A and B are shown apart, each in its own frame.
Chain A
């Protein structure tokens, strides 16, 4: 009997964080040590695979025996020996560790296009990519299709820029194709910097070849012979895997001169960003590659006409490029049919926050927020009430419960005051303060402003100051209106996308949660009990049994009371750290 055994361990960012490397090590050791070495060595292959997507259950391990797939969740190194013994040796999967219903629900409404290879193939092995049809699309594009045909396919696929702004990709390529220039550039924007976003990172780490293939196809379409992948240096694994993939492509004749013998040349280089968020902005990114300070420049021309070094340049996001090979292979109709009339295909989201199943998901455009949060995300943790979902990172806004049934696409999200953005999705529940959330994002953008234009440099700072005084109870009547006015003005006057969208988190939270702002200003209360200066901690006499846990834990000696007697909090020394709240097992601490 020939037992074909494969073990796949999730080594995405979350997989690594939860100890994936140790799990792999344990599998290696166990398989070596179970005696039947000869058989196992020959049949068993260990893959470092990309993200399986369901980060909340990491480390996820897929064990394939005779083509039969079993997925284990929450795997720790200590569990490996039992899996190897019972499942691999004896053929009895360890049922109690197998991923449950939630895992399958998580995947049910998803359609994996961009992520189809993530978690399935070894990203450091070009053969693995080739084995699943990799570079077939590039071969087709290079040998069978004219640039116009490629552009036409991309156009009719209805693919729109996945970086967030949603400019039709085919149109961008078409603009660039029509401009005559002996030098043109293709740039992949991998400077993903939104807090909580890791879509592009997962693709670059889990399926780097698909990005490269998309770029090759784009190069052919517009007639470019030089490409750059701009990756932030904070993504060392992405840089490493992309570099490995590029090297493999050069060896395989997929990059460099005379690609696949077609006479077409295309060189590709990685350029590492130094950590400035603003370099994700197209013009700043190009200045950065040019070796200048990453500062946005006014767009007199579209980049497709005059971009990098004033040459026609197509700049697309990682996810956009990763879609291209699939579109070429499976056709524009297939892709466009996945989405809505206005936006074709699927979109990857990094689902984080207060729902049960956090992780990386890919859904068809047009799906409702409710389906994402409740069907895929499994609803809110700990039975708390849903409050809002923040999309688009620091450029986006918060969408309240009453709008959960809107369909997710570029226009509908913009209509409700948010944006699609690159795909961050943070779910907030009743314990989140909306003013605090707005402050968090604005703190980020004002610190990351390049400082060039005045509205963004000074205006966001002034907005932040107002938010700060709201959260500490020093706000004045009229501050909400001032915020709105400032926000509107900044949105009209800023130079680049960073400034133009920076007020969104504030404006959208004011729009939907104005009462929370008012509570902070008029009643000096934080309804979600988050803003420290506006809350007080007290002990509910009817629940306190005088165990003293809170008193022992209090770092400020603010709790008084004798053992077995009701305790009290002295508001004077209390620093509102919340430790008592966390340690009390009897819900006797109240914060409001």
Chain B
């Protein structure tokens, strides 16, 4: 931890860690220093000049966004001089900015409006000038309106910091503006529509495209939650109005490298009200699916389950919350009394690697080893991990990429080790042992023949020097990588679904038939596969489009009418993650809460409510899991020990296919479909 220094800000004594920017230290003291261009956690760029403050002993005012705290400093943030300066700057900005606050969507949260109010500036005292630049409205996600832009540069800096680099400045003087390459529309500029720029824009220059007259921020209720669409489990802030979701923003703490969400997380919520949304249970009558009552649907299912017992198989996605997982596990084992339950997690991970992963925080790390992983914002494979690592690299993190195939993120790495991962891991351990790290005899003997290259030496040196090394590994390489973490640091097995780790900890793993056995393996996509069970109960949007052969009865419990659901005998409509409460354990091992944000659509219910209802009908009623039960399940000893240096086989599913598959209804039921089509067209 950094040393603490004491200073005085506006007569208040403040204790702040050494190296902190004055602007952040002032926040600690409850003093807001006006600013328009400062991005917490990043270097102050000093563009807006609003944060100029006076430091006793110095003649000229200093910018608080880029001046570090020092012991004994005495700061005045509201002297006559700096107030005059701020007023002058706001006055100048207003001379270039529309004064249409009465209809502006950002009214109420616009920083410029706030400061103009604070200084009592109704309109600029200078001649007003506007350029009449056209807005970019050619996409359904982000409206970019240069007329409102105050060139604070936040969007440019965040876009560059996370490695997307779509926006930049062009032109000089008063004609300087933010543009994409060649000023093309966003969709032709490599934009991923993550919307990070929207989150940072202090004015109305970057905004969700559908916000015009849909309510302003003070009308919204804001709730923090978690996105469950992929393995990153990002924190989100959901804004609702009159019971429906208006927008979603990144929810991680300001300044954290994890403050990022992708286009799926930000814009996928449209799917809640999609045409394919299931609002009533359905049942196949005379070969046709018809709406029915919960009573009828559940009775039919209960009947079937009771009669089939061990011939029933349950498959589920691993993006369900802990509470659902716990109830499902009990339902399967205690009510239906079968051992056949498995999740999609088994397609890419062994549950032990997830259970034994450490709990970590990327913001604390100073070195990251990325083993066998290719996070990518563009392909939306763990996009937030990609963004967080790149942001951290910009802040000084060292990155070592160990991957036998091409990983785009290697471009941000300090060292990229290509070739067989296991050999490289062995070699690194060998160098570390040579450097004096103590290791078991078993480890020592298994690495003694490893070949060492110059890059391996460098990677090992980085590891040896690091204070908080953190290894992110693909589950298949977890055990081999874990041998390094035996020497120092932490290791995380990175799964592809949001609650894979929670599902593993809740014990929702099979003791009977595996996922693959239950869905069968088809020779090709056109052929159907032979299932190992008679009754198949699919929970969530499982990556399965064809009803396997040998299934007498198919139950699909999902929020949307999928291809598989259309082949089901009974469909039970479930709530989405925004419509039911619960917890997850994210890939970093942190317990995250999801409150219920809106009422479920139609008659849909949470997964666990459906199981509990069924259990009552079957005659062995289950209870809702208590909070303590979840917490107890998360308590696992993560003491690792030596494992052989091998890559685990059988986890070869394509990450992008899996993620698109489990989110098919989200994509097809929202404006993301437009993006997918554009991306497909651009790829051709």
Contacts and interface: CB of A to CB of B under 8 A. Distances in A.
Nearest to A298: B46
Contact of B176 (A300, A457, A459, A462): A457
A300 B92 contact: no
A451 B89 contact: no
A145 interface: no
B171 interface: yes
B89 A454 contact: yes
Nearest to B151: A451
A297 interface: yes
B173 A460 contact: yes
Contact of A449 (B44, B88, B172): B172
A343 interface: no
Contacts of B93: 454, 458
Given A447-B172, A461-B173, A462-B95, A454 B61 contact: no
B95 A276 contact: no
A170 B84 CA distance: 38
Interface string B165-203: 000110111111100000000000000000000000000
Interface stretch (B47-55, B243-251, B341-349, B535-543): B47-55
Interface size class of B (residues with CB under 8 A): 35 or more
A136 interface: no
Nearest to B60: A492
A64 interface: no
A528 to B, nearest CB: 26
B63 A295 contact: no
Nearest to A295: B169
Interface string A439-476: 00000001111111111011111100100000000000
Nearest to A494: B49
A457 B89 contact: no
A522 interface: no
B126 interface: yes
Given A446-B173, A453-B47, A298 B92 contact: no
Interface string A55-90: 000000000000000000000000000000000000
A495 interface: yes
Contacts of A276: 172
B84 A457 contact: no
A449 B84 contact: no
Nearest to B85: A493
Interface centre among A448, A451, A492, A495 (most CB of B within 10 A): A451
A293 interface: yes
Contacts, number: 99
A523 interface: no
A432 to B, nearest CB: 25
A411 interface: no
A449 B60 contact: no
Given A298-B44, A458-B95, A493 B172 contact: no
B504 to A, nearest CB: 43
Contacts of A465: 126-127, 129
Contacts of A298: 44-46, 63, 66
A489 interface: yes
Contacts of A451: 151, 169, 171-177
Contact of B66 (A295, A300, A457): A300
Interface in B525-554: none
A298 B151 CA distance: 17
B496 interface: no
A448 to B, nearest CB: 6
Nearest to A450: B172
A494 B60 CA distance: 11
A446 B174 contact: yes
B389 interface: no
B96 interface: yes
| Smallest CB-CB A-B distances: 4 pairs | A451-B176, A298-B46, A458-B92, A461-B174
15 contacts: A297-B45, A297-B46, A300-B67, A448-B172, A448-B173, A451-B176, A453-B46, A454-B89, A455-B49, A455-B92, A459-B88, A460-B173, A460-B174, A462-B127, A492-B60
Interface of B: 44-49, 52, 60-61, 63, 66-68, 81, 84-85, 88-89, 92-93, 95-96, 126-127, 129, 150-151, 153, 168-169, 171-177
Given A452-B47, A462-B127, 14 more contacts: A295-B169, A298-B46, A300-B67, A450-B173, A451-B177, A453-B47, A454-B93, A455-B88, A457-B176, A461-B173, A465-B127, A492-B85, A493-B88, A494-B49
